[in-house]
Amino acid sequence: MPRGPGAPEYIRNLAVYIPGKPVEEVRRELGISGEIVKLASNENPLGPSPKAVEAIRKALPELSRYPDGGGFYLRKAIAERHGIPDDQVILGGGSTEIIEMLARTFLADGEEAVFSQQSFVMYPIAVAAVNAKGISVPASAERRHDVEAMARAITPRTKLVYIANPSNPTGTYVTRGELSRFLDAIPDHVLVVMDQAYHEYVGREDYPDALDDLKAGRSVIVLRTFSKIYGLAGIRIGYALGSAEVIALLNRVRSPFNTSHLGQIAGLAALGDPEWVVRCSRENAVERAFLESELGRRGVRYTPSVANFVLAEFDRDVQHLFMEFQKRGVIIRPVGGPGLARCGRVSVGTHAENEKFVKVLDTLMEKSAG
């Protein structure tokens, strides 16, 4: 075997993002014959808008053509929806791609990016992948971003601050007051990445849409995705809203055909079906309350969530618990990491799926009590 060129140390040291196994593989490995409920990836249990599905079906014969690299129609629709010019919009293969593009665009070797310790796992990975330094700031006791500590962590070498609002895996959010004070406190050389992947689920008056801050001229870029409430995680389409200057820089590192034709078509159709979003958000709120109250009634501590998942803290090692759930046909997400060793994240499913989770939880609690 030729040894090949080898990779730099910072690549060899990268943590690998571990996705869940395909449901069919879990079924095969564990010999499960019944239905498997997947509550592990914060997907929309109601699926995509039927209008998006229909648009995809119609576009299938066009697949021999390259996509429109600039995503003209989808960008235009997004710009109109948000009331900004279309040179302030960029598309990504999911918002994950934009998280990575930001690191590649703004972070030179050894420069710094700040994020919360209990936040999206892709931030440290994206930052380390360009040989930059991730500064991970402990969360507050309520598992919220400690934005004051994050502001204090900024140095002359800091270029980016990633804020997930709401945050994953905690389901907590930064309020309008906190965000405004934070933006007032940060120096000009820092770009604040407001990752609003779960934005549409939040029903709180003091929850800020950072688009307002962008429009007010603050140094902010807002990330949004079609993967969550729009139910299009499998087609990989997301976007960012930023200043024309920041978007122009990102376009320099963007690969020319980074989003697919079907992704663009589906995103456009999904944007045109706001009723679907309202319905999914309502059902999610009802089912999230159900999950939280069932956890609470059983004495399982959880972090009150504004998103489409709930972080539960169990009384035992969550890896083992995850396997026990899986054997019984329910897949949750073991979390791990600082302060989260006993935490599992449960995505909000349909009522039947959530009931199955609760039933298996009861079985496991009885088993350990007995």
Ligand X SMILES: Cc1ncc(COP(=O)(O)O)c(C=O)c1O
When binding is defined by CB under 6 A, the residue of 37, 42, 162, 231 that contacts ligand X is 42
Residues of this chain, 87-126, that bind ligand X according to CB under 6 A: 94-96, 120
Is 225 a binding residue for ligand X by CB under 6 A? The answer is yes
The secondary structure element, H or E, covering residue 192 is strand 191-195
Q: What is the nearest approach in angstroms of ligand X to the Cβ of residue 72? A: 21
Judging by DSSP bridges, how do beta strands 330-331 and 133-137 pair with one another? unpaired
The rounded radius of gyration (Å) of the Cα atoms in the chain is: 21
Q: What is the nearest approach in angstroms of ligand X to the Cβ of residue 169? A: 8
When binding is defined by CB under 6 A, the residue of 55, 107, 160, 197 that contacts ligand X is 197
Q: What is the nearest approach in angstroms of ligand X to the Cβ of residue 361? A: 23
| Distance (Å, whole) CA 57 – CA 170 | 36
Q: What is the nearest approach in angstroms of ligand X to the Cβ of residue 195? A: 5
Considering all CA atoms of the chain, what is the largest pairwise distance in Å, rounded to the nearest integer?
63
Is 200 a binding residue for ligand X by CB under 6 A? The answer is no
Q: Which among 343, 354, 344, 229 has a CA at the least distance from the CA of 289? A: 354
The residue with tokens 């929806």 is 81
The residue with tokens 């009634």 is 297
Q: What is the nearest approach in angstroms of ligand X to the Cβ of residue 28? A: 25
Q: What is the nearest approach in angstroms of ligand X to the Cβ of residue 197? A: 4
Residues of this chain, 118-177, that bind ligand X according to CB under 6 A: 120, 164, 168
* Residue closest to ligand X, measured at CB: 94
Based on CB atoms, which residue is closest to ligand X, 264 or 360? 264
Based on CB atoms, which residue is closest to ligand X, 197 or 249? 197
Q: Which among 202, 268, 200, 309 has a CA at the least distance from the CA of 49? A: 268
Is 195 a binding residue for ligand X by CB under 6 A? The answer is yes
Q: Which among 358, 356, 360, 347 has a CA at the least distance from the CA of 45? A: 347
Q: Are 98 and 238 in contact (CB under 8 A)?
A: yes
Number of residues forming the site for ligand X (CB under 6 A): 13
Based on CB atoms, which residue is closest to ligand X, 307 or 361? 307
Based on CB atoms, which residue is closest to ligand X, 94 or 344? 94
The residue with tokens 């958000």 is 281
Q: What is the nearest approach in angstroms of ligand X to the Cβ of residue 238? A: 4
Tell me the β-bridge partners of 90. 240
Q: Which among 241, 299, 230, 224 has a CA at the least distance from the CA of 268? A: 230
Q: Which residues here bind ligand X, judged by CB under 6 A?
A: 42, 94-96, 120, 164, 168, 195, 197, 225, 227, 233, 238
